[in-house]
Structure 1
Amino acid sequence: MYAVIRSGGKQYRVTEGDVVRVEKLSAQVGEKINLDDVLMVGSKGDVKIGAPRVEGSTVQAEVVDQGRGRKIDVTKFKRRKNYRRHHGHRQSYTELKITGISAG
């Protein structure tokens, strides 16, 4: 069984046992959470598509890690104008292990 969930403005296709990195959630490592924003649930031949969500379905997950991604360097430059700007960015993430999917 698989599900399509929405977290942090992005969509993820997950199955039981997957480990996914989503935008940072306010949860501690080891904590179990329920993701209620399920857009689609499917198995071999049976697919339920929500409008916009599948009512009563949830995805259970466990928080494995809280961290920050690799650094991205941002540089702005205009030639012959003495204009140079440089800064970096590291995006925070939460790593989730999917422990169960209930179709509702």
Structure 2
Amino acid sequence: MYAVIKSGGKQHRVSTDELLKVELLKVEKGETIKFEDVLMVVDGETVKIGQPIVDGASVEAEVVDHGRGEKIRIVKHKRRKHYHKEQGHRQWYTLLRIKAINA
């Protein structure tokens, strides 16, 4: 059984007991959150597709950790113009453990 949820403007395919990194959520470590924006639920041969969300479906997840991702280097360079600029970015994330998919 798996589901497709929407979080942080992105869609994620999740199944039970899976670890998932999503954009930073304002939730304390150890708390349980419930995602109501379930776009699709698949249980064996049964497929429920929402328009845009599946009615009555939800996904429960536990917050495991908060952190920052790998550094991404942004480099801007113009040849022959003595212009070179470097910048770095580390995106904040929330690590979730999917506990249950309620269809």
Short-chain TM bin: over 0.9
Partner of 2:13: 13
1:22-101 superposed matches below 5 A: 22-101=22-101
**TM-score normalized by the length of structure 2:** 0.97
- Residue type of the alignment partner of 1:69: G
Q: Per-residue displacement from partner, 1:2-40 (whole Å, max 9, x unpaired)? A: 100011111111111001001111111101000111000
Q: Distance in 2 between matches of 1:14 and 1:5?
A: 7
Q: Root-mean-square deviation (CA), in Å?
A: 0.6
**TM-score normalized by the length of structure 1:** 0.96
Q: Distance in 2 between matches of 1:58 and 1:73?
A: 37
Instruction: Name structure 2 gaps, 5 residues minimum.
Output: none
Aligned pair count reads 103
Q: Distance in 2 between matches of 1:54 and 1:27?
A: 24
Instruction: Name structure 1 gaps, 5 residues minimum.
Output: none
| Runs of 4+ off more than 6 Å | none
